[in-house]
Chain A
Amino acid sequence: MKIVIGEGSCGIAAGAAKVYSALQSRITAQDEITLGVTGCIGMCYLEPIVDLYYEDGKLAHRLVRVSPSDADAILDAVRAGDASGIEKLIITKADEGFLSQQTRIVLRHCGVIDPTSIDAYLVEDGYKAVEKVFATMTPEQVIEEIKVSGLAGRGGAGFPTWFKWNAARSAKGETKYLICNADEGDPGAFMDRAVIESDPHSLIEGMLIGAYAIGAHEAVVYVRAEYPLAIVRLEEAFRQARARGYIGKNILGSGFDCEFRIKAGAGAFVCGEETALIESLEGKRGMPRLKPPFPANCGYNQLPSNINNVETFANVAWIILNGGAAYAKMGTENSKGTKVFALTGKINRGGLVEIPMGKTLREVIFDIGGGIRDGKQFKAVQMGGPSGGCIPASLLDTVIDYKALGATGAIMGSGGMVVMDETTCMVGMARFFLDFTTKESCGKCVHCRLGTKRLFEILTRIVEGEGKPGDIALLEELCTTVKDAALCGLGQTAPNPVLTTIRYFRDEYEAHIAGRCPAGECNALVRYDIVEDKCKGCTACVRVCPVKAITGAIKQPHSIDQNLCIKCGSCLTACKFDAVVKA
């Protein structure tokens, strides 16, 4: 029997490493049990996850929300071949649906193979695509295959991958660079980290094919320094791949050379913008350059360069092995293949979801994600992080497709999907994202540096109850102009959360300016009161109030001093008689 523990950063954060140690310390020499690790399966809400495999490699049981104290029971069950003692840990049918409804290409090995072992990758047809390319395809044929697949950049912009590759291939110059953008910065997006941590060789293989296609002999992975485990796993994968001849000189006897290296980014969101990434790679301050010239002609070190993100590269080997046509069969008219989403927020089942383009938001959020937590109502989903926009309930049947999502004012983006329920204030949500973009603006162009700051300030005064008539129009004017005139994608998209929330939730903005937060989330605009008829005078609220704002004798109705109240909501939670009301 083999016990495999999901050790992505997320699993480790949930306690996977402790589970591993607990199991390891209890396994004796007599046990015919091997212990292994895998990456992230993508079911964040069930971590830590432990998989029990039969000797033939078939999955026997998937155990979820495992804690170190479950170790003895698990080992007993394995030794006895009887799972009755660990039934409560076995994944439910409903939770299995989270995976079974997905179509996994990018994530095909994630949570399945051991990311620290090249052999595990090779068993799964690893590096077969590279072999096929070197043996049978010219660079032009590779580009053609990618063109047939319809693969588009998964980092956010959705630009056709073949076009960029072709431009870089056609660019004049001996020295060219292939760069992987692993500076995954959108709050709430973590698919790229999952791929590197769980399946690093698939990234390397995709990049190798790309390097061959454009004629680059140096490949750089720009990983954010906040992903230490990804860096460790990728470095180990480089080492193993080099040892097996997949990296270096004359790869697989093809005569093609390619070296790989990592550049750790220092955590600036704007470095996810390709020209700022190049500046950073060159050792300069991460600030965008003007395009044109495009990186394909004048990129890293002013030489032809091609940049794709992790998820894009992770599709490449599959496309080469299965054919571009097979990939293009999935999806819609203008969006082919699959897309990985990081489903988070007020959702029952959060995690990584890979589905073919063309499914609806409703299918992802309700069928796969299991709907809204705590029986609350779905309100909106924020697509594409701070650069994206929100989509309201009325548009839940929008299909996932670059064009259809764009029409809503949101974007596909890198695949962040933050689900919000009725208790989320949409003005506050827009403000949250503007806070992020204001801080992450590089400071170069006026419209972004000052425009996002002023938008944030106006949103702040609105949520603080100091909004003025005319503020909505001012927000719209500023947003429109900042989008139009900012230098790079950061500034050009930063207003999206504001514009879409105004578009779909204008009444919430108006309510705030009139002195009310409909979601009850903005402290300055809510008040707590005690309903005299319902109050039994139990003093439960008095005891929890941290500022002694509640007074009243025992068995007498209490009252809240509004001048002292800090609106923490403790009284509301403490009251057993629904006597405290929030308005």
Chain B
Amino acid sequence: MSEITLTINGKTCAGHQGDSILHIAQANGITIPNLCAHEAVARYGACGMCVVEVAGNPKLVRSCSIDAADGMVIQTNTARTLQARKIAMELLMSDHEGDCVAPCSLSCPAGTDCQGYVKQIALGDDRKAVEIIKQKLPLPASIGRVCPHPCEKDCRRQYAEQAVSIAMLKQFAADNDLASAEPYRAALAAPTGKTVGVIGGGPGGLTAAYFLALAGHSVTIYDAMPKMGGMLRYGIPEYRLPKKVLDSEIAAIAAMGVTMKNDVKIGKDVAFDDLRKAHDATLVAIGAWKSSAIGCVGEELPGVLGGIDFLRAVALGGKPDIGKRVAVVGGGNTAMDACRTAVRLGAEEVYVVYRRTRNEMPAEDVEITEAMEEGVTFKFLTNPAEIIGKDGRAAAVKLQVMELGEPDASGRRSPVPVKDKFEYLDVDTVIGAIGQKVSPIGFEEIALNSRGIIAADEHTYRTSLEGVFAVGDATNKGASIAIEAIGEANRAAGVIDSYLKGAMAAFAEPFVSERAVTDAVKAMIAEKPKAARATMPQRAPEARKHDFAEINLGLAEEVARAEAKRCLECGCHDYHDCKLIECANLQEIHPERVAGEKHEGYVEQALGCIERNQNKCILCNLCVRTCDEVAGKAILGLVGRGFKTVIRPEFHDPAVIADCANCHKCADACPTGALKILK
């Protein structure tokens, strides 16, 4: 074959007469997106992704199917070709029905690959499971214990009976890994010579340090408290998260070369500006450490404490004098931690004062149950109107009786005072656990938002200061759960890494296909064989309420393995190897603007060795062509016309189907997850 030379994107490329433009481009290291092209089969030209412009040709040219000619001048990424590809992808994705990623992963604020690690746990490979978790979250043993697991909220197993207990499984795998001879450790990139200062050693700061260290940067964490861990250490009681678990996870991060400096208060021990100048980039992850005020008369009295202040005092080893009768105001997790800690400190009567009912409580349901088991009394539909002092100290709370009115902005029914109806509670201590505030003292140079919280860009986490980033409770919306801060920290670490390498790239949420959970989908799941959700073995309430030892005992191995097998594996088996989703992420696309009817989808296993999911099929016809041209069988064919075209075994003829050689070549050729090899 004679040699030819062409110019692609200004680069001189050599090839042979008879080669397609696509072939020559790829051979010369130039990528042209494509879905339906394959060297093993004849040219086809259906997907329209590989279009290029050829000088002198007024039409777009499908590079997969056109012979290159000597002297051709080709551009692959013009406005016209990009537009053609964008529309092709929007159209394809508007007709593609499948879940790239399982709903649990999508619901996780840190985007952990729940399905991936649950699968490894089911297979018995806890180390591999931890490896998968640590791609997003470096503190799995701690977070597995404390996370309110938003992942489980969308778990589709709930339509069969109950969600998979993903958080417990995470704890199980992480505990096993920590206990193993050689716990998992990710490999570090070569040192970059850049340094990052992370202010705050809570879940956000630790996570950012982990990923920045992985990327080869030199990281120092500065924290105001005596030890690292932030709210995980000083806000979560020991009985929920033993600090030795947290210590070992922090130790693993320190072992990566992260320098940890405690008892450093910004603005006092070191000026923020000096610290900032000492590093190539700075991340502020200082959390929200100030208790919100209850907002009633008498709250300034001695004997009235803030929830997180109380928990911190206990965590620091103190034993606050709270007396025998304690009222905790609030309905969130901090309120539960406070009331149960009060029980453990020896209070005899512990009350939770909450202005709505149990249904509206933001705390985890299991926490409420456990608090009740430990003897806490819940005063629902009451709100402190006044803290009454006696001898200069809180002695009683006057409770306004409430009732539920119309739903408010959060959708919950709002509490309304019942006129002139009050109750009185004699107490020694009142603990206000109704929220946390940011105290950005020492960071005066950074611009705040209207709520007095550090303002950080949602895609770059950049603050108003050059080279200063911020994540977690101290930013934007304020306090939230640890996994939120962890997710932000992971993404911010990516941005900081790109910043340090000279080209800051904002975090962009990858495009994924999501299937609507219709009644039909729910009904289909409901037909699955039932398997009850595992329950966490616990110490009995009477035994546990007197000390701070961990109340959860961890899942037994056989229970954990069985639980992991309950996973329905909603996410596509092909996500990590899918050309379609790769193409969908080449540019920003909005398939919703061309949303419409979807083609007739169905899932069948007529071929025995292959599951064919026509919901995901993009009609590239590679399976049909491969079966015909490579396998020499011609079992599959196109049926119907236009939008209604689908791929089916020819004539649905059992004799034709029986001819299948189980070679899987069709599934290997499929550029997306429409064909799955059955084990």
A residues near B (Cβ < 8 Å) are 268, 285, 287, 290, 292, 438-447, 449-454, 457, 474, 477-478, 481-482, 484-487
Q: A484-B60, A485-B84 are in contact. Are A454 and B641 (CB under 8 A)?
A: no
The answer on a CB contact under 8 Å between B84 and A447 is yes
On chain B, the residues within 8 Å of A486 by CB distance are: 48
11 contacts between A and B (CB under 8 A): A285-B637, A290-B62, A290-B65, A440-B641, A443-B645, A446-B46, A447-B84, A450-B643, A453-B643, A477-B87, A484-B80
The answer on a CB contact under 8 Å between A438 and B67 is no
| Nearest 4 pairs of A and B residues by beta carbon | A443-B645, A450-B91, A485-B84, A441-B642
The answer on a CB contact under 8 Å between A481 and B83 is yes
The answer on a CB contact under 8 Å between A451 and B638 is no
The answer on a CB contact under 8 Å between A447 and B91 is yes
Task: Report B605-647 CB contacts with A as 1/0, cut-off 8 Å.
Answer: 0000000000000110100000000000000011011111100
On chain A, the residues within 8 Å of B66 by CB distance are: 290, 292
On chain A, the residues within 8 Å of B55 by CB distance are: none
> Within 8 Å of chain A (Cβ to Cβ): is B51?
yes
Instruction: Mark the stretch among B161-169, B430-438, B590-598 that contacts chain A.
Output: B590-598
> Within 8 Å of chain A (Cβ to Cβ): is B536?
no
Known pairs A290-B45, A453-B596, A481-B83 / 9 extra A-B pairs, C-beta < 8 Å:
A442-B642, A443-B641, A444-B621, A446-B88, A447-B48, A447-B87, A449-B642, A450-B91, A452-B643
The answer on a CB contact under 8 Å between B640 and A482 is no
Distance of A523 from chain B, by nearest CB (Å): 21
The answer on a CB contact under 8 Å between B619 and A449 is yes
Q: A443-B643, A449-B642, A485-B51 are in contact. Are A457 and B596 (CB under 8 A)?
A: yes
Distance of B35 from chain A, by nearest CB (Å): 9
> Within 8 Å of chain A (Cβ to Cβ): is B208?
no
Distance of A290 from chain B, by nearest CB (Å): 4
Distance of B56 from chain A, by nearest CB (Å): 14
Q: When the two chains form the complex, which single residue of A285, A447, A481, A485 contacts B638, counting CB atoms closer than 8 Å?
A: A285
Distance of A493 from chain B, by nearest CB (Å): 13
In the complex, what residue of chain B is closest to A285 when comparing beta carbons? Answer: B638
> Within 8 Å of chain A (Cβ to Cβ): is B479?
no
**Bound-complex Cα distance A478 to B596 (A):** 14
Distance of B54 from chain A, by nearest CB (Å): 12
> Within 8 Å of chain A (Cβ to Cβ): is B546?
no
Chain B residues touching A, range: 35 or more
**Bound-complex Cα distance A478 to B638 (A):** 26
On chain A, the residues within 8 Å of B644 by CB distance are: 443
**Bound-complex Cα distance A445 to B88 (A):** 9
The answer on a CB contact under 8 Å between A446 and B65 is no
The answer on a CB contact under 8 Å between B642 and A443 is yes
Task: Report B78-102 CB contacts with A as 1/0, cut-off 8 Å.
Answer: 0010011001100110110000000
On chain A, the residues within 8 Å of B83 by CB distance are: 481, 484
On chain A, the residues within 8 Å of B44 by CB distance are: 290
Q: When the two chains form the complex, which single residue of A285, A292, A441, A454 contacts B594, counting CB atoms closer than 8 Å?
A: A454
On chain B, the residues within 8 Å of A290 by CB distance are: 43-45, 62, 65-66
In the complex, what residue of chain B is closest to A442 when comparing beta carbons? Answer: B641
Q: When the two chains form the complex, which single residue of A268, A287, A438, A474 contacts B643, counting CB atoms closer than 8 Å?
A: A438
**Bound-complex Cα distance A445 to B642 (A):** 9
The answer on a CB contact under 8 Å between B88 and A447 is yes
Distance of A320 from chain B, by nearest CB (Å): 35
The answer on a CB contact under 8 Å between A268 and B87 is no
The answer on a CB contact under 8 Å between A485 and B60 is yes
Distance of A248 from chain B, by nearest CB (Å): 37
Q: When the two chains form the complex, which single residue of A292, A441, A477 contacts B67, counting CB atoms closer than 8 Å?
A: A292
Distance of A38 from chain B, by nearest CB (Å): 37
The answer on a CB contact under 8 Å between A443 and B638 is yes
**Bound-complex Cα distance A478 to B591 (A):** 12
On chain B, the residues within 8 Å of A444 by CB distance are: 46, 619, 621
Distance of A547 from chain B, by nearest CB (Å): 29
On chain A, the residues within 8 Å of B641 by CB distance are: 268, 439-443
> Within 8 Å of chain A (Cβ to Cβ): is B151?
no
The answer on a CB contact under 8 Å between A487 and B597 is no
On chain B, the residues within 8 Å of A268 by CB distance are: 641
**Bound-complex Cα distance A246 to B558 (A):** 88
> Within 8 Å of chain A (Cβ to Cβ): is B266?
no
**Bound-complex Cα distance A450 to B643 (A):** 6
> Within 8 Å of chain A (Cβ to Cβ): is B495?
no
> Within 8 Å of chain A (Cβ to Cβ): is B353?
no
**Bound-complex Cα distance A486 to B618 (A):** 16
The answer on a CB contact under 8 Å between A478 and B594 is yes
The answer on a CB contact under 8 Å between A439 and B642 is yes
On chain B, the residues within 8 Å of A443 by CB distance are: 619, 638, 640-645
Distance of A175 from chain B, by nearest CB (Å): 22
On chain A, the residues within 8 Å of B65 by CB distance are: 290
Distance of B106 from chain A, by nearest CB (Å): 25
> Within 8 Å of chain A (Cβ to Cβ): is B305?
no
On chain A, the residues within 8 Å of B619 by CB distance are: 443-444, 446, 449
**Bound-complex Cα distance A140 to B92 (A):** 49
On chain B, the residues within 8 Å of A482 by CB distance are: 87
Distance of B549 from chain A, by nearest CB (Å): 61
**Bound-complex Cα distance A442 to B45 (A):** 13
> Within 8 Å of chain A (Cβ to Cβ): is B47?
yes
The answer on a CB contact under 8 Å between B91 and A484 is no
The answer on a CB contact under 8 Å between A449 and B88 is no
On chain B, the residues within 8 Å of A484 by CB distance are: 59-60, 80, 83-84
In the complex, what residue of chain B is closest to A287 when comparing beta carbons? Answer: B638
Distance of B90 from chain A, by nearest CB (Å): 9
The answer on a CB contact under 8 Å between B92 and A450 is yes
**Bound-complex Cα distance A486 to B619 (A):** 15
Distance of B563 from chain A, by nearest CB (Å): 42
On chain A, the residues within 8 Å of B618 by CB distance are: 446
**Bound-complex Cα distance A442 to B638 (A):** 10
Residue among B43, B60, B91, B638 having the largest count of chain A Cβ atoms under 10 Å = B91
**Bound-complex Cα distance A77 to B87 (A):** 69
Q: A440-B641, A442-B641 are in contact. Are A454 and B94 (CB under 8 A)?
A: yes
In the complex, what residue of chain B is closest to A286 when comparing beta carbons? Answer: B641
Distance of A474 from chain B, by nearest CB (Å): 6
In the complex, what residue of chain A is closest to B593 when comparing beta carbons? Answer: A474
On chain A, the residues within 8 Å of B91 by CB distance are: 446-447, 450-451, 454
Q: When the two chains form the complex, which single residue of B48, B638, B640 contacts A446, counting CB atoms closer than 8 Å?
A: B48
Distance of A480 from chain B, by nearest CB (Å): 8
Distance of A448 from chain B, by nearest CB (Å): 8
The answer on a CB contact under 8 Å between A481 and B84 is yes
Distance of A348 from chain B, by nearest CB (Å): 36
**Bound-complex Cα distance A285 to B624 (A):** 13
Q: When the two chains form the complex, which single residue of B48, B594, B645 contacts A485, counting CB atoms closer than 8 Å?
A: B48
The answer on a CB contact under 8 Å between B645 and A449 is yes
On chain B, the residues within 8 Å of A477 by CB distance are: 87
In the complex, what residue of chain B is closest to A447 when comparing beta carbons? Answer: B48
Residue among B51, B67, B643 having the largest count of chain A Cβ atoms under 10 Å = B643
Residues facing A in B49-79 (CB within 8 A) are: 51, 59-60, 62, 65-67
Residues facing A in B23-53 (CB within 8 A) are: 43-48, 51
The answer on a CB contact under 8 Å between B87 and A481 is yes
Distance of A444 from chain B, by nearest CB (Å): 5
On chain B, the residues within 8 Å of A487 by CB distance are: 45-46, 48, 62
**Bound-complex Cα distance A381 to B66 (A):** 38
**Bound-complex Cα distance A446 to B45 (A):** 10
On chain B, the residues within 8 Å of A445 by CB distance are: 45-48
The answer on a CB contact under 8 Å between B643 and A449 is yes
**Bound-complex Cα distance A484 to B62 (A):** 11
On chain A, the residues within 8 Å of B621 by CB distance are: 444
The answer on a CB contact under 8 Å between A451 and B596 is no
Residue among A287, A453, A457 having the largest count of chain B Cβ atoms under 10 Å = A453
**Bound-complex Cα distance A440 to B645 (A):** 11
Residues facing A in B385-426 (CB within 8 A) are: none
On chain A, the residues within 8 Å of B640 by CB distance are: 443
**Bound-complex Cα distance A457 to B94 (A):** 13
**Bound-complex Cα distance A485 to B45 (A):** 11
Task: Report B263-304 CB contacts with A as 1/0, cut-off 8 Å.
Answer: 000000000000000000000000000000000000000000
